[in-house]
């Protein structure tokens, strides 16, 4: 079984500051890991994903995340926050087994606020 | 590429009526579509998984007779909320997954806001 825990339902940073959103997962099989962003009243947009290979994954809008198997973590970072980064962020895990249907298990979400 | 649309984007209906929400993959064939429900300030809850041409697989606790899902073609899935009640008010989001190299990636629609009066 898979599960995802996002530490902190709300994170507030100043514009230009480092963004760090934490995600820990539990999976009985090798996982695919994802970060999605959701703006108000919209669907989800993929920021980045880890499947195999390089553990440091770069995504859109300057975000990146590092898969750390030993820590079962996939934290999302961005060196310098922008006002437009204010949104809800979801970490998700999917088992790396096709015949399990590719279901995504989402974390609770972290709301990112950016102060001017 | 990989665009998913939903229609309508918002709907208001009276209690007891049925509402149909469409989910379309615009530029790819979706072998699998997923339906999620999201309450305010909460995460997405998977309701069901539908594969083209077969019956949907519902998650535990989701009433299949209440939430009818049809996946008649590789580009269209519909969710019908039957005899809707105020507690069914929510944000419904679909996603679509293609086969091939991107089999593990889901593309999300913009969501449908349902309000039942």
pLDDT (tens digit per residue) in A24-35: 999 877 788 999
Rounded to an integer, the average pLDDT of B63-88 is: 94
The answer to whether B113 touches B11, Cβ cutoff 8 Å, is yes
Q: Looking at CA atoms only, how far is residue B17 from chain A in angstroms?
A: 24
The answer to whether A49 touches A57, Cβ cutoff 8 Å, is yes
Q: Say yes or no for a CB contact (<8 Å) between A104 and B97.
A: no
Task: Among B41, B57, B104, select the one facing A51 at the smallest CB separation.
Answer: B104
Q: Looking at CA atoms only, how far is residue A13 from chain B in angstroms?
A: 19
Does pLDDT of B92 surpass 90? yes
Bridge-based pairing state of the strands B112-116 and B10-13: parallel
Given this model, what pLDDT does residue B103 score?
56
Closest-CA residue of B relative to A10 is: B41
Nearest partner of B23 among B8, B12, B11, judged by Cα: B8
Rounded Cα distance, A92 and A54, in Å: 18
Q: Looking at CA atoms only, how far is residue B44 from chain A in angstroms?
A: 7
Task: Among A51, A101, A106, select the one facing B44 at the smallest CB separation.
Answer: A106
Rounded Cα distance, A37 and A24, in Å: 17
User: Does B67 contact chain A (CB < 8 Å)?
Assistant: no
Given this model, what pLDDT does residue B102 score?
58
Q: Say yes or no for a CB contact (<8 Å) between A46 and B113.
A: no
Does pLDDT of A64 surpass 70? yes
Residue range A79-106, pLDDT digits in tens: 999 999 999 999 999 876 555 557 888 9
User: Does B82 contact chain A (CB < 8 Å)?
Assistant: no
């Amino acid at each position: 079984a898979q599960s995802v825990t996002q530490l902190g339902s709300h994170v507030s940073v100043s514009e230009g500051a480092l963004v760090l959103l934490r995600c820990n997962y539990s999976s009985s099989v090798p996982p695919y890991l994802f970060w999605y962003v959701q703006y108000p009243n919209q669907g989800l947009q993929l920021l980045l994903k880890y499947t195999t290979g390089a553990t440091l994954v770069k995504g859109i809008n300057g975000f990146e995340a590092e898969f750390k198997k030993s820590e079962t973590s996939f934290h999302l970072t961005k060196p310098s926050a922008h006002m437009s980064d204010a949104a809800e962020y979801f970490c998700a895990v999917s088992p790396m087994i096709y015949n399990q249907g590719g279901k995504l298990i989402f974390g609770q979400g972290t709301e990112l606020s950016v102060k001017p | 590429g990989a665009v998913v649309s939903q229609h309508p984007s918002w709907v208001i209906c009276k209690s007891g009526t049925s509402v149909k929400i469409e989910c379309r993959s615009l530029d790819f064939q979706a072998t699998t579509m997923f339906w999620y429900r999201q309450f305010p300030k909460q995460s997405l809850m998977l309701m069901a998984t539908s594969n083209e041409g077969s019956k949907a697989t519902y998650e535990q606790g989701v009433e299949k007779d209440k939430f009818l899902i049809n996946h008649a073609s590789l580009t269209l899935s519909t969710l019908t909320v039957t005899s809707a009640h105020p507690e069914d008010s929510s944000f419904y989001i679909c996603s679509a997954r293609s086969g091939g190299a991107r089999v593990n990636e889901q593309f999300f629609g913009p969501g449908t806001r349902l309000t039942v009066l």
